[in-house]
Every structure is written in structure tokens, then in C-alpha cells.
Structure 1
């Protein structure tokens, strides 16, 4: 047949092997236009460009089914490219997560830790959000809560290319929010807050800031909460709010009820994952409030 070529000539003109061209022909993405009397395939001139396009698409990872649709005019090359970009984006994100998990695991000898990290990081964004939502449902239910709103707005969002530190932080958050004891403690806090209202001063910004500025240094310096110096700090803090001295034990009770280092740890971990600028260390804040609580009791 004039203008037609056998598979060997097509291989020479495209740079593809005879074996590869035969595979494409068998897959019906490079159909022959006929056969010789001896049964060898014959290809038309357009087979050169077609074979080169198939090779390019295959090198980009496009599957034969998509290639068949493009060449059969069932879909456009642009549509196939867009679909493939989405698939590649998903694959890249998985690979980045896997890389971060392995980097985070380096130095550890606990296979169970690797399994936990892999299971939790392989979740979808929706599945990860659901962990936070289930915690909020278990703690706050349908009752309105500023704390619940803040946690929902500041939910941790693992980035597409996480660092090992972000992976470790996410695993710790997930385990914390599914810890039955933490859920029960958080529920008791929420119930007490609903019953007692926005009091006491622990919830007020000015007093909270002052506790950090006055009680914080005293706690770090190891000042005895029963010392006269501590009484002076208590009185200065009381001057900022409506709490009379006779209510010091009640205030101490409430501070202790709402002081849990795990809450501070949660926000530290959220900051790591969400890339927030670090602020005052939560442990320092808890230390200040715990010292203030002991000072209140000592001078009640």
C-alpha cells in the first residue's frame, strides 16, 4: 500500500520500540490501517504524530483509557489534562504527607507510633475536621458556647506540605480530642460555665493579663503563695475586679476547675499546625493561674 509503513519503519520514525508500538496497537490506541499479505500491520502517515502524542501522554502518566477517549474525540485533550492535574495534585499531597511522616519517625523505634502517624495523616481534610467536630459535639452539644465557636474557627488545618513537627502535632491533637478523660473534663468545664455564667475574673481580659504579669513572675521565682508578698499580689489583682476577699476560696475553686494544662497544650499544637506566631507559652499561663489559686486559698 502506497504511503503506508510497517511497524519497523514506524519505530524508526518515532523513536519508539517495536514492542511498545505493538502494545499500543493491541490496546487500540494506535490502530493499524491494514495488513500485508503476510499478516504484518500497516500504519498510515498520521500514525507518526499519533504515536508521539501517545508517548508524551504516557510519560505524563495519563492512562490508556483517557488516551483512547482523546484520540477517539470523546473528550478534549484539555479536559483530560485538567483531570490528570487534579489526580496528580492528590498524589503529590499524599507523597508529601508520607515524606513528613517518615521524617517525623526518624529516630523512633516504635512501629506503633509510625502506624498512628500514618493512619491519622492519611485521613481526608473532612475526616480530620470531623475529629474536632465530634469533640465539640461531645463537650458542648447544641448549647451555644464562645469556646466552642473559637475552637471551630481555629480548627487545625494540616497544610498540603506539612513539616514533621506539624505531623507530630496533628497526631497529638487527634489523640487528645479522642481521649475519654479529656472529653469528660472538658464537658465538666462547659457545664460549670453554663451554670455559673461569665464570672469569675479568670474570664476577664484585664485580670487575665494582670495575672500573667504579676502572678507569673512570682510563680517562676518560686515565691511561696502563703508569703506576705503573695498577699500583696492577690490584693492588687482583686483591685482590678469585683471579687471581695471573702470570695477568695470560691474564686480559687473556679480557677482550678477551669485550669487544665491539656487545654493550653491543644492551642499550642493548633498554633504549630496552622503556622501561628508563638505567643506566651500556655504552661507559663497555667503556672501563673495555679500559683494565684494557691495564693487565694492561703489568704482566704
Structure 2
């Protein structure tokens, strides 16, 4: 309670009691956050006894860097007798914003260290490379790349499932080497496609949505099996993973898995465009120091191509197509 006869105080008394400047009190009053109880005969602002507590709450909320609009919403709900929903939403929103800002700062820090650590004559090119990537980086360019690479009629659910494993999420606390790998990956997917046709493997072209779904569902299973073989350190070889890989293509083309089909498939895959560089950079973006690279769809695909080549060269028929697959790596 203020000492005046009517229990009210002036703007100066309120500022002194709350430990803020008169300018701050006037700012909050002008924006409707701190209502006046009345005005004196001389037109001076007068505040009630609850103004100190309200002003302290405003300062606390602003101290968390909440915008004035959020502070107003919280105060309005408090006036209505409920602060939980607005306060929780405001804090969650601020936490999300701060998280994004911190990720951006960590990314910029690693990018600056990357530029600083390279030889002076390489710094301009390195700076242009990493400067083309936003902080924190967006994966939108990688998604666009794959949407151009995948079959046009592939079902949205199948596309989404593939993108989840094919598009690496940038680390929240990257090392300079991961910043470089992601920047190189961004440059790789944003460069123009070569040739007159679409940037899409001819072996992946399908007649319709159903065939596309069959192909990529089968490939996903084969890649998973091949990834298990790779984690165990096994060399490419015929087996369940390769059988599933070949069967995915055979089912799409409406044929059977035969030695002749394997030879045809081996030659066709060898002639298709390759994006090994994409998968190499993806592994670098995701990798931790000293860890063996985690299998990706690309490295699993390479393993299966080598397995197909080994199968063709050891008795499935003429082995030249298998050797072509190996040589193209």
C-alpha cells in the first residue's frame, strides 16, 4: 500500500519502488500493459497498489526477451484469472526461437573456424562456398534435388519415406569439417543437371505410381539388409540382400529374376548416372570422429552393385556386365 491518503502513487514513486526508470514505466503504460488508476487534477498518472507487482511481472517477462505482444496476451489472461496457457505458449515459443538462434550461432562459429583454418589463398573460395548456405542450414535444396531424381509418379508416402533416409539433417553443433561437407553437398545439388534429359536414372523409371512404390519399397528392404552386412564388415556377395535388390527391379518390370535379367540389370545400372559424391558427403555430414561411417542408401546401393557384379562374374552368366559395374565406381 502506498503512503498517500488515497493509496495511489505517482509515476516517479512507482518507478522508485520497482527499481526502474520513469521512462520504462511510461513506456509500459503507453502500450497498455500497466493501466493507470487515475489522473491527478494536473493530468499526472496515478497508479494503484497492485502496480508494483504487475510491473515486476512485466519486467520478468521482458527479461526473458518475450515481445510486448506476448506480454500483453499473458497479462490479459491474468486479468481474466488464467495465465497458464498463454505463459506456457510464450515460453515454449521463446525456447524454440532461442534454439534456432543457438544452432545458427554454432553453425556460424564452425563456418568461421573453417575459413580461418584454411590457407590464406583458399579463404575467398571457402568463404563463398560456406556463405551460400544459410545458418542454420536448410535442407530444402536437397529435397528438391531428390524430387527431380525420383520417379515423377512415385506416391507421396514413398517419397516421404525415402527423403527421411536420403536427406541428412545438419548437426546442431557441427564441426568445421561437417560445415564444409554440407556446403559441398549444397553446391552439388544446386548445380545444373548435365545432358538434355532429366537427372534421373533410367533404371528407376517406372510405368506408374504402383510400380514406383513397388520399386522403392523393395530397394528400401534391400538397402537395409545390405546395411546390416556392411556393419558386420562383410564384403559384397550374393545373398538375401542382393536377391531382394534384383527382385525389386524384376517386380517393377513385370519379369522374373533370371541370370539373363541380372546381366541386363547390371549393364543398365552401370550405364545410369551415379551420385556417389552425394553419399560420400552425406556420410561426412552425419559422421562422428573416429566412427565407422553409417551405411546410407547410396553406400548400400554401391555394395549391392558390387555384389551383383561378383555374382555375374562367378557363374550367373557372362561376367562382363558385373565387371563394368565395378569399374564405374
Higher radius of gyration, 1 or 2: 1
SS in 2 for 1:121: coil
1:155 CA displacement: 2.3
The answer to whether residue 235 in structure 2 is matched with residue 209 in structure 1 is yes
Find the partner of 1:24 among 2, 7, 28. 28
User: Which residue does 2:287 correspond to in 1?
Assistant: 275
The answer to whether residue 73 in structure 2 is matched with residue 69 in structure 1 is yes
Answer whether contact 1:176 1:182 (CA < 8 A) is retained: no
1:63 CA displacement: 0.9
1:13 CA displacement: 1.7
Give, in whole Å, the separation in 1 of the partners of 2:197 and 2:276: 14
Give, in whole Å, the separation in 2 of the partners of 1:163 and 1:91: 17
CA distance change for structure 1 residues 44 and 38 in 2, over 3 Å: closer, same or farther? Answer: same
Find the partner of 1:117 among 114, 130, 143. 130
Find the partner of 1:105 among 100, 115, 131. 115
Find the partner of 2:60 among 30, 45, 56. 56
SS in 2 for 1:91: helix
Find the partner of 2:99 among 62, 68, 89. 89
Report how many residues are paired: 248
Answer whether contact 1:105 1:114 (CA < 8 A) is retained: yes
User: Which residue does 1:11 correspond to in 2?
Assistant: 15
CA distance change for structure 1 residues 143 and 79 in 2, over 3 Å: closer, same or farther? Answer: closer
CA distance change for structure 1 residues 183 and 45 in 2, over 3 Å: closer, same or farther? Answer: farther
The answer to whether residue 193 in structure 2 is matched with residue 177 in structure 1 is no
Note the residue ranges of structure 2 that are not aligned, 5 or more in a row.
156-160, 207-225, 238-258, 304-308, 310-319, 325-329
Give, in whole Å, the separation in 1 of the partners of 2:163 and 2:74: 47
Give, in whole Å, the separation in 1 of the partners of 2:74 and 2:276: 55
SS in 2 for 1:100: helix
Normalising to structure 1: TM-score of the pair? 0.61
Answer whether contact 2:33 2:75 (CA < 8 A) is retained: yes
Answer whether contact 1:96 1:160 (CA < 8 A) is retained: yes
The answer to whether residue 46 in structure 2 is matched with residue 36 in structure 1 is no
Give, in whole Å, the separation in 2 of the partners of 1:171 and 1:3: 64
- Higher relative contact order by CA 8 Å / sep ≥ 6: 1 or 2? 1
Answer whether contact 1:101 1:167 (CA < 8 A) is retained: yes
1:95 CA displacement: 2.5
Answer whether contact 1:3 1:45 (CA < 8 A) is retained: yes
Give, in whole Å, the separation in 2 of the partners of 1:91 and 1:161: 12
The answer to whether residue 165 in structure 2 is matched with residue 153 in structure 1 is yes
Stretch moving more, 8-17 or 113-122: 113-122
Which aligned pairs between 1:229-248 and structure 2 lie closer than 5 A?
A: none
Give, in whole Å, the separation in 2 of the partners of 1:192 and 1:130: 21
Normalising to structure 2: TM-score of the pair? 0.57
Note the residue ranges of structure 1 that are not aligned, 5 or more in a row.
196-204, 212-241
